[in-house]
């Protein structure tokens, strides 16, 4: 009797597919950024998308600013940012290209407070190429807004989110319209124009142009080179851990046995050949 060792891709797909079916949205389609707190600790907020766009914790102490627990929907470590300490996370490369087609998502929690809380921004050395996604505290509370290039504010959300609870926010752009979703529900949109400058842009979570910062907690953050669909947004809000488990692909009906000479491969693993 001999046994067959699955390839790495087959084994990884099988593990990631546990508990899912092929009708689930594939959140890894077009994925270009996936910052996770599952690893916890260290000066890097690690990108597990495969593109290596890791974030560097700036003005932060890994010993105290990585906090375990917090988000009941997405367990693991979260980052606790203090605006007064000018804390933020700078990425290696820009997320938004010049096509104006992208999505950015993040889990966040904000306490009731005053000021402007920057969730995400990308900006060049000049005023061109600015995209600033933030929650602004005013008479309406912590409403969410988007500043795009020199157009100014494109929208203001109808609801406030400075309630000390975890929220899942997604910003999608299809080339002409920017849409703001919070907890799976559309809450703000506006028309966009202009072209971004990915070659020189600074890309950060928790800060914009060294002025305004973020007060609160940040969990998993993700980015795509496409506008994610409302159904995908709702799915990731309800089942955020599916971000790390692409939907299953069908295996071939028959699997060729490994070469006869690869004795170790034949004996160590899994299925009988």
* CA-based R_g, the chain, Å: 21
Range with lowest mean pLDDT among 40-44, 227-231, 249-253: 249-253
> Same structural domain for residues 69 and 5?
no
Residues 237 and 255 in one domain: no
Write down the pLDDT at residue 140. 63
Same domain flag for 13 and 108: no
Query: Is residue 123 situated within a structural domain?
Result: yes
Helices (H), 178-222: none
User: Mean pLDDT across the stretch 239-266?
Assistant: 54
Q: Are residues 122 and 187 in the same domain?
A: yes
- Alpha-carbon distance of 234 to 146, in angstroms, equals 21
**Would the pLDDT of 83 be above 80?**
yes
> Sign of torsion, CA 83 86 92 97?
positive
Structural domain including 109 reads 27-242
User: Do residue 5 and residue 75 come from a single domain?
Assistant: no
> Rounded to whole angstroms, how far apart are CA atoms 47 and 93?
11
Lowest mean pLDDT among 31-40, 150-159, 264-273: 264-273
Quick one: 36 and 140 in the same domain?
A: yes
Residue 82 shares a structural domain with residue 173: yes
pLDDT of residue 80: 93
Element (H, E) at 263: helix 263-268
Give domain status of residue 77, yes or no. Answer: yes
Number of domains in the chain: 2
Q: Answer yes or no: do 195 and 272 share one domain.
A: no
Does residue 22 form part of some domain?
Answer: no
Pick 1 or 81 by higher pLDDT: 81
Q: Residue 169 pLDDT > 90, yes or no?
A: yes
């Amino acid at each position: 009797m001999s046994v067959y060792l699955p390839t790495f891709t087959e084994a990884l797909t099988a593990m990631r597919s546990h508990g899912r079916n092929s009708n689930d949205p594939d959140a890894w389609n077009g994925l270009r950024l996936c910052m996770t707190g599952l690893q916890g600790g260290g000066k890097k907020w690690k990108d597990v998308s495969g593109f290596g766009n890791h974030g560097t914790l700036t003005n932060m102490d890994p010993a105290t600013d990585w906090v375990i627990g917090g988000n009941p929907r997405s367990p693991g470590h979260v980052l606790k940012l203090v605006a007064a300490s000018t804390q933020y996370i700078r990425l290696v490369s820009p997320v938004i290209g010049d096509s104006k087609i992208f999505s950015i998502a993040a889990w966040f929690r904000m306490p009731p407070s005053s000021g402007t809380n920057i969730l995400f921004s990308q900006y060049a050395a000049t005023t061109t190429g600015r995209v600033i996604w933030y929650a602004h505290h005013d008479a309406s509370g912590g409403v969410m807004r988007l500043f795009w290039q020199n157009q100014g504010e494109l929208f203001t959300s109808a609801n406030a989110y400075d309630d000390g609870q975890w929220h899942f926010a997604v910003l999608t752009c299809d080339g002409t319209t920017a849409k703001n979703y919070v907890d799976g529900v559309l809450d703000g949109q506006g028309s966009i124009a202009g072209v971004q400058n990915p070659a020189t842009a600074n890309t950060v979570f928790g800060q914009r142009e060294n002025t305004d910062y973020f007060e609160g907690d940040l969990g998993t953050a993700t980015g795509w080179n496409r506008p994610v669909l409302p159904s995908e947004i709702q799915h990731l809000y309800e089942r955020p851990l599916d971000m790390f488990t692409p939907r299953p692909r069908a295996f071939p009906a028959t699997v060729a046995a490994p070469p006869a000479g690869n004795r170790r491969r034949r004996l160590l693993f899994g299925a009988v050949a």
